[in-house]
Chains A and B, each alone.
Chain A
């Protein structure tokens, strides 16, 4: 009878299994062997208790170096755009910023996220922010008061990475551009709202939904990495979607840059009204042949497109005619 045989076989396996278990031995009856920790003199033999490692946070001078580099990069950005008028140099600065502020510093501290920290520190007496964060937040605004959005161009890591992927810019219809541009103020208001909530409900939404930080850290939630990749793919055609439509700090900068006296200028005194610069601007920042400070993102593409500016001039225009 096959059924009886099967039952017998099963029993045999069980018995063997149990035997094997016993052969392997049982678990120890564990009791704590000591009541107090033996010290150096109990152990003897010249034993020295090892030091417990206490890794320090990033050194203060390195943090200050970050602020100095931020200031220097903005200075260079202003110099390139106002004096040098060169797209090529600006691309070099952009690459350097993505490397340092993006991949090396992993996108932190950045002025965009610090909006909320500054708001909390201004409203909550128990909340303090390090001076480095204060400086990071205020320096780009200060520069914007005089020179416009120099930070956005080749300094901001989030802006720079989008600047570099923009290969086939398409013009966004003006109406749509303006409507979408309002989103960043909504985001700014939401960020401030979440920051002024009591400590328990506070939410640092800007950092949490920073689309590129996971990319810079090369780790993070899959959905955030996907969002970052999505922005980069979209950013190949639509110029800097995050900066123009979502960045709350961009909103602040565009307010302050209204006051700026200097910045990108369309060939003073020698323009042709050809409109090539306006066509070249992926951000719709050239209106009626003039760069609009609050929209200009310091990319210097208009200079590269200008027949009276840069290498084209040197190649085709006889000496002395232009300069």
Chain B
């Protein structure tokens, strides 16, 4: 660099300056309007499996079929404070199956055996109905097929189980494949904090 700048070099500098300014301005605009992270989440009041009034319809399993993640990023989640803790849970047992020797339905509903049932406190073996049971969903097994969600829905159950996108499994696709396929438009992008902590309706 001998102090003297050739015409070509000067032009180059001007062009680079212009390009950097342009890039900077558009990036600045986007940063200015950025509103933090957004994540996909299911609106339980829209999802066929959990929406009240949709009784006797086919269970929708598009969350399993459409998700690009192998076991789907959707899981059934039991909101314990709403759970009836019934002895015969319609989401745990297939209530249409024959009654076994213990007086309980002989078949489970979950095809992946992902729901764990355990009595709360001491259970009287002679009177199992007179007790509370806790139903915990094993998230490693669940793939969000929605069978238990549909079965837990009022009036059969108390609608304590709903489908949720698990943000640690979801890869945050631009166009969530489930959302495109969902007939009820139940999957939408929510601001992350609201979706995870507040769980309110999408903004």
Contacts and interface: CB of A to CB of B under 8 A. Distances in A.
B174 A38 contact: no
B16 A129 contact: no
A56 B132 contact: no
A202 interface: yes
B26 interface: yes
Contacts of A203: 175
A195 B31 CA distance: 19
A149 to B, nearest CB: 14
B168 A261 contact: no
A45 B158 CA distance: 23
A202 B77 contact: no
B201 interface: no
B57 interface: no
A220 B34 CA distance: 30
Nearest to A42: B132
Interface residues of B, number: 66
Contacts of B39: 57
A25 B84 CA distance: 26
A33 B87 contact: yes
Tell me which of A32, A39, A202 has the highest count of chain B C-beta atoms within 10 A of its own C-beta: A32
B52 interface: no
A145 B36 contact: no
A128 B33 contact: yes
Contact of A56 (B70, B80, B196): B196
Interface in B147-191: 155-158, 160, 166-175
B12 A261 contact: yes
B80 A145 contact: no
A53 B165 CA distance: 12
A219 B29 contact: no
Interface in B98-153: 98-100, 105, 120-121, 129, 132, 134, 136, 139
A113 interface: yes
B68 A27 contact: no
A24 B98 contact: yes
Given A27-B95, A37-B83, A145-B16, A138 B27 contact: yes
Contacts of B194: none
Contacts of A24: 98
Interface string A312-323: 000000000000
Interface in A199-232: 202-204, 207-208, 217, 219-220
A146 B20 CA distance: 10
Contacts of B6: none
B142 to A, nearest CB: 11
B173 A43 contact: no
Contact of B81 (A45, A49, A108, A135): A49
Contact of B158 (A36, A207, A261): A36
A115 to B, nearest CB: 11
Nearest to A24: B98
Contacts of B35: 128
B54 interface: no
Given A43-B121, A121-B33, 7 more contacts: A24-B98, A36-B158, A63-B37, A131-B34, A134-B34, A142-B23, A146-B16
5 pairs of A and B residues whose beta carbons are closest in the complex = A204-B174, A55-B168, A57-B167, A30-B95, A219-B70
Interface of B: 12, 15-16, 19-20, 23, 26-27, 29-31, 33-39, 68-70, 77-88, 90, 95-100, 105, 120-121, 129, 132, 134, 136, 139, 155-158, 160, 166-175, 192, 196-197
18 contacts: A26-B99, A32-B158, A37-B158, A38-B132, A43-B85, A47-B121, A47-B132, A52-B77, A52-B78, A55-B169, A118-B30, A129-B34, A134-B30, A135-B27, A207-B173, A207-B175, A259-B15, A259-B19
